[in-house]
Amino acid sequence: MSLELKNVKKAYREPGGRQLPVLNIANFQMASGEQVVLVGSSGGGKTTLLNVIAGITTADEGDVLIGGTNVARLSEAARDRFRAERIGYVFQTFNLLPAFTALENVLLGMSFGGQKVDKSRAIDLLKQVGLSHRLNHKPAQMSVGEQQRTSVARALVNTPRLLLADEPTANVDSANQQTILDLLRKSCRDSGVSLLLVTHASEVANQFDRVEKLADFNRPQG
Amino acid sequence: MNLATIAWKNIRQRGLASSLTTVSVALGVMLMVAVLVIVGILESTFSQRSINFDLIVGAKGDPLQLVLSTVYHVSPPIENLPYRFYLDLAKDKRIDAAIPLAMGDVTEEGSFAIVGTIPEFFKIPYAPGENHEFRIKGTEFYQPFDAYIGTRVAAENNWKVGSKLKLRHGGAAGDHVHDEEFTVVGIIAPTGLPHDKTVYVHLDGFYQIQGHDKPLKEAIKREREFYGETPLTEDELAAEIKKIEAKYGVHDHSQDHGHEGHDHGHAHETPPVQKEVTAILLSCKTPIAAQLLAGELRKGYKAQAVNPIFPMQKLMNDILGPVKQLLVFMTGLIVLVSGIGIFVSIYNSMSARRREIAIMRALGAQRGTVFGIILAESIILCVGGGLVGLLLGHGMVYLAAPIVEVRTGLIINPLAFEKTELVLFPALFLMSVLVGFLPGMTAYQTDVAESLSNS
C-alpha cells in the first residue's frame, strides 16, 4: 500500500499557550511494498509523524493518503477502523497489555476491526516469531526480546498493508536487535507489506535500501 | 476477543480490588435477599392462605392473640369457652361447619403443639383454592386416643403410624407429663402451614386426660357464670351433680388420686359441662352471615368472633410492613454503598490504566469500545456480586431456618423464592451502568498519543 503525505502540518500547544510546530512536510511518498527507514534525532517529530500516518492523532493541515484513502479527512471512528484493518504498529515500548497472554495480545490485534478473530493465524504468527512456547505467558513472564516479538506478531496479525515501527529495537538488547529487525523486514517482504521504520540508530538505518532523514523534508519552523 | 472477555481479563488483573468490591455487593444483596425471603415467608404464613374458615370464635381478649394461638400456635390461648357454647353455635343455621379446638398441651419433649379436635376438621380444605385438601397417610381419625401428626413432627420424632405419644401439660415449661398415651393413626402430607408441626388428637380422648375435664362443681358454676345465669344453691348444685353422674357415671379425672392401679388409657364419655374448648372455627354460609354472627358475638357473653384476616393484616400493615420497608431500605443502602465502592475502585484505576486504554485505541478500538469495556467491568462486578449474594442469601435462610423454627414456631422454607428478588438484578444492572459511566467516560476521552507518549 502506498503512502503519500502532502502539506502536512502539526503543532502542539505549549503550556504558555504558544504553538510549537512539530511537523511541516510538503511532500513524502512511499511505494507499495517499499521498506523505508526514517532517521531523526530525539524529539524531532518521528513518533508524531507515525501517529499522524496511523490516524492516532490528526494533522492540523494537509493530506495523508494511504493506498489512495485520505486518512486525514476521515472521521475518528473511520480512522480507528482503517487503522485496525490496514495498519500495523510496532511501538518502541512494546505496549503489550499486562493482563493478557502473548496469544491474547496478538488476538487483540484483530479484535477491533471488522474481520473475524482467527486464533489459528495468531498461533501461526507467534510460531513464526519463535514464540510457540510462550503462547500462554503474560508479558511479565517474557524477556524483553520476546515481548517485542509478540508486538511484531500483533502488528502483523490483521494482515496490514502498511506497517509502522517506532524505534522497534531501542529497548531491546543488542543480541535481539538484529533478530527483531530481520523478523520485521522478512515478514513485510514476504507479505508485500509496506514498512516505514523510524530510528535514530545508524546501524539499523544502514541496513535499508532507502534511508530518509526527517530533517530533510520536515521543516516545522517553515 | 469480545468486550466481556477483555473486561473479565482486566477484572482478574486487579484481583484483590475486584474481589473486595464483588464481596461487598454480595454481602449487601445477601442481606437483602434474606430479608425479602424471610419477610415474604412471614407474610405468606400470616395471610388468608393459612386458614380456610370465616371466623375464629374464642374468649374475649386480643383478636391477634386469638388468631396467633389458634392458627399458628405461637401465642398462649386466651381462655376457654364452655362446650355448650360450641354445641349451640353448631346448631346455628347460618353456619356450614363448626369445628371445636382444645389447646394448651405440647408433645412430651415440648416441641410441638397438641390440638384436640374432631374428625370433621380434616374434611375441610386447610386453605382456600384448589388442591388444599388434607391428605392423610393412615387410617380414619375416630377413636378417642387417635392422633394425626404433621410431617415435621413425624420427622423429628421419628414417629410413624402406630407410634405412641404422650402429652406435656401447659406448654414446654410445664413439668407434668400425662400418663395417657395416644396412638398415631395418620401422618398429614406437607401443607407448608402450621399443620406440619402440630399433633391433632381426638377431642374425646383430649377430655379423658387428667385435668382436662373440670371438677363437676366448678364446671357447673363456670358455665352458669359464662351465660350470666343465676348461681345455684348448694342443694341445687348437688342435685345437678347427681343427675349428671347418673347419666354419665362417676369418673373424675380432675383430682390427683394417684396412678397406681388406675387405667388412664380407657375411654368414657365426659359430661358436656366438664368440657371446654379453646376456640371454635366457623365456616359460614355467606359472608354476610359471618359478619352478622361476628357482630352478635361481640355484643354478648364473654366471647368474640374474629375474621382471621383482619388481625393478621393489621399485623402486616402496622408492624411487619414498616419493618420490612426499613430493612429493605437499609440493605438497599448497603448495596448502594458497595456500588460506590465499585465506582471508586474502577475510577481510581483509570489513571493507572490510561496507557492500556490508549494501546487498545492505537490498535483500532473506537472510543465507544473502550467505554463499553469499562462499563462491562462494572456490570460484571455488580451483577456477579449480586449472583453470589443471591446464593448466599438463600444459603443464609437455609442455615437459619431450623433456628427460626425452633425459636418462633414458624415454618421457614429455605428454598422459597420471593418475586421481589427478580427486581434485584435489573436494579443492580442499572446501578452498574451508573457506577461505570464516569470511569467509562474517562476511557472515552483518553488522548491516545499523549497517553502513549507518557508510558
A170 touches chain B (CB under 8 A): no
User: Domains along chain A?
Assistant: 3-95+162-217 (3.40.50.300)
Residue pairs between chains A and B whose CB atoms are closer than 8 Å: 75
Across A86-90, B179-183, B233-237, the highest mean pLDDT is recorded for: A86-90
Q: Taken in order B58, B63, B65, B69, is the CA torsion positive or negative?
A: positive
The minimum CA-CA distance between B369 and chain A, rounded to whole Å, is: 8
Q: Which residue range is the domain that position B321 belongs to?
A: 3-46+316-453
Best of B363, B448, B454 to substitute, by most chain A Cβ atoms within 10 angstroms, is B363
So what's the pLDDT on residue B202?
93
Indicate the residue among B307, B332, B354 that finishes a domain: B307
- What does the longest C-alpha to C-alpha distance in chain B come to? 116
- Counting the structural domains of chain B, the total is 2
Q: What cell was used for A83?
A: 487503522
Q: How many CA atoms lie within 13 A of B289 on its CB side?
A: 14
The reply to whether B252 and B401 lie within a common domain is no
The reply to whether B42 and B56 lie within a common domain is no
Is 50 exceeded by the pLDDT of residue A69? Answer: yes
The minimum CA-CA distance between B375 and chain A, rounded to whole Å, is: 17
So what's the pLDDT on residue B406?
66
The reply to whether B59 and B31 lie within a common domain is no
The reply to whether B417 and B379 lie within a common domain is yes
Could you please report the per-residue DSSP string of B176-196?
A: -EEEEEEEEEEEEPP-SSGGG
The reply to whether B292 and B343 lie within a common domain is no
The minimum CA-CA distance between B376 and chain A, rounded to whole Å, is: 16
So what's the pLDDT on residue B259?
40
Q: Which residues of A74-105 are buried (b: 16+ CB within 10 A; e: fewer)?
A: beeeebbbbbbbbbbbbbbbbbbbebbbbbbb
pLDDT tens for B206-237 read: 988 877 767 888 888 888 888 888 888 888 88
| Residue B299 parent element (H or E) | helix B287-299
Looking at chain B, the whole-number percentage of residues with pLDDT higher than 90 is 36
Indicate the residue among B307, B332, B349 that finishes a domain: B307
This complex has an ipTM of 0.91
Q: Which residues of B409-443 are buried (b: 16+ CB within 10 A; e: fewer)?
A: bbbbbbebebebbeebeebbeebbeebbbebbebb
| Angle subtended at Cα A210 by Cα A205 and Cα A215, rounded to the nearest 5 degrees | 70
The reply to whether B275 and B401 lie within a common domain is no
Chain B nearest-CA residue for A78: B366
A100 touches chain B (CB under 8 A): yes
Contact B6 A112 (CB under 8 A): no
A51 touches chain B (CB under 8 A): yes
Indicate the residue among B245, B279, B307 that finishes a domain: B307
The reply to whether B231 and B157 lie within a common domain is yes
B12 touches chain A (CB under 8 A): yes
| Angle subtended at Cα B128 by Cα B122 and Cα B129, rounded to the nearest 5 degrees | 110
Is 50 exceeded by the pLDDT of residue B324? Answer: yes
Chain B nearest-CA residue for A156: B363
- pLDDT-derived band at A62 (thresholds 50, 70, 90) equals very high
- pLDDT-derived band at B255 (thresholds 50, 70, 90) equals very low
The reply to whether B240 and B330 lie within a common domain is no
pLDDT tens for B10-54 read: 899 888 888 998 999 999 999 989 888 888 877 777 766 677 899
B87 touches chain A (CB under 8 A): no
The reply to whether B349 and B215 lie within a common domain is no
Distance from C-alpha of A123 to C-alpha of A103, rounded to nearest angstrom? 7
Q: Given A51, A107, A158, which is nearest B449 (Cβ)?
A: A51
Is 90 exceeded by the pLDDT of residue A197? Answer: yes
The reply to whether B230 and B329 lie within a common domain is no
DSSP B273: G
The reply to whether B36 and B99 lie within a common domain is no
Point out which residues pair with B1 in neighbouring strands: none
Q: Given B6, B359, B365, which is nearest A95 (Cβ)?
A: B359
The reply to whether B136 and B109 lie within a common domain is yes
Is 60 exceeded by the pLDDT of residue B356? Answer: yes
